[in-house]
């Protein structure tokens, strides 16, 4: 059973939900781009020995928008995570991240290795690209902060919103409805997303291959990297850098499926992998 909880930080309020008991290992769960804390509803109740805080990133779900002029960037997200951990009194903690959350979580583990005990990445890890592309994405992040009076599409019904998300992402109806439940609001004419429109065009900090190699070198946490969709070009670029390294602390497991595999039919297998990893039962030679 989860409980809702708000983290009133000095600069904004981050909202999320707890799973497990305070006796479990402190764990912060980080959702993907345009998703929210409900991303972990299907696996969190079945993860043993963990005390999980699944947070909505700024501008997502029920968390506050960033102030006018502030950037939606991975660096600000990392700072927010550390502020949440400090608010909870967690000097060290585990990270479970999906997609963008795994990108940001792996960066945090590389920048602040002393804070992260274990790192679990579901179909995501720090993104990489050639320098010209990373510079272009930095420019886009700055440009997106200048958006004014932009709005998101209004849907006539909750069902229409669900259908559109299924079409756009290939998710099944169950997982789409789970995300929309926390990510929508009623407006004149129907329903729309809670998401801050300024997020479009921004994203996590993307590193060059050399920078990604240096980041991986810094990660001390035992790491489980679950790979679901190798057809994603951004993920395959990262794997091209990480797999040849053969880091002893990074275990890569292929579990072919949808990008939202932790919310789809194979969610029980994701749970088993994470439980085995957390409790030292995962066969790293398989």
Which residues are tagged catalytic? 99
Residue 126 Cα distances to 39, 72, 103, 198, angstroms: 19, 17, 4, 22
- Residue 79 φ then ψ, to 5°: -60, -40
Distance of alpha carbon 155 from alpha carbon 258, whole angstroms: 25
As given in the structure block, the two tokens for residue 213 are 């190699």
Residue 66 Cα distances to 48, 77, 90, 234, 273, angstroms: 34, 11, 24, 26, 35
Distance of alpha carbon 31 from alpha carbon 55, whole angstroms: 8
Tokens 């599409």 label which residue?
153
Burial of 177 (0-12, 13-18, 19+ CB in 10 A): middle
**Paired residues of 184 in beta bridges:** 193
**Torsion angle, alpha carbons of 112, 114, 116, 118, to 10:** 130
Are residues 271 and 43 in contact, defined by beta-carbon separation less than 8 angstroms? yes
Q: Give DSSP secondary structure letters for 137-198.
A: HHHHHHHHTT--S--PPPBSSHHHHHHHHHHHH---HHHHHHHHHHHEEEETTEEEE-S-GG
**Paired residues of 16 in beta bridges:** 5, 55
């Amino acid at each position: 059973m989860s409980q809702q909880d708000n983290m009133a930080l000095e600069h904004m309020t981050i909202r999320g939900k707890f799973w497990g008991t305070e006796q479990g290992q402190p764990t912060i769960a980080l959702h993907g781009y345009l998703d929210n804390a409900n991303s972990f509803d299907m696996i969190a109740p079945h993860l043993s020995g963990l005390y999980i805080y699944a947070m909505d990133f700024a501008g997502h779900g029920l968390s506050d928008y960033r102030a006018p002029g502030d950037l939606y960037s991975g660096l600000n997200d990392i700072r927010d995570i550390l502020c949440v951990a400090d608010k909870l009194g967690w000097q060290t903690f585990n990270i479970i991240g999906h997609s963008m959350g795994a990108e940001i979580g792996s960066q945090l583990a590389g920048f602040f290795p002393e804070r992260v005990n274990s790192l679990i990445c579901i179909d995501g890890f720090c993104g990489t690209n050639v320098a010209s592309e990373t510079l272009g994405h930095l420019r886009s992040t700055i440009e997106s902060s200048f958006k004014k009076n932009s709005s998101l599409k209004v849907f006539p019904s909750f069902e229409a919103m669900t259908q559109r998300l299924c079409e756009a992402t290939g998710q099944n109806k169950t997982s789409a409805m789970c995300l929309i439940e926390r990510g929508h609001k009623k407006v004149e004419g129907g329903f729309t997303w809670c998401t801050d429109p300024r997020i479009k065009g921004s994203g996590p900090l993307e590193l060059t291959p050399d920078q990604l190699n240096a980041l991986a070198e810094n990660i001390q946490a035992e790491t489980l990297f679950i790979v679901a969709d190798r057809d994603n070009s951004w993920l395959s670029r990262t794997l091209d850098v990480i797999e040849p390294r053969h880091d002893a602390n990074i275990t890569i497991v292929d579990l072919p499926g949808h990008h939202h595999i932790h919310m789809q039919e194979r969610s029980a297998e994701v749970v088993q992998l994470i439980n085995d990893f957390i409790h030292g039962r995962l066969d790293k030679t398989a």
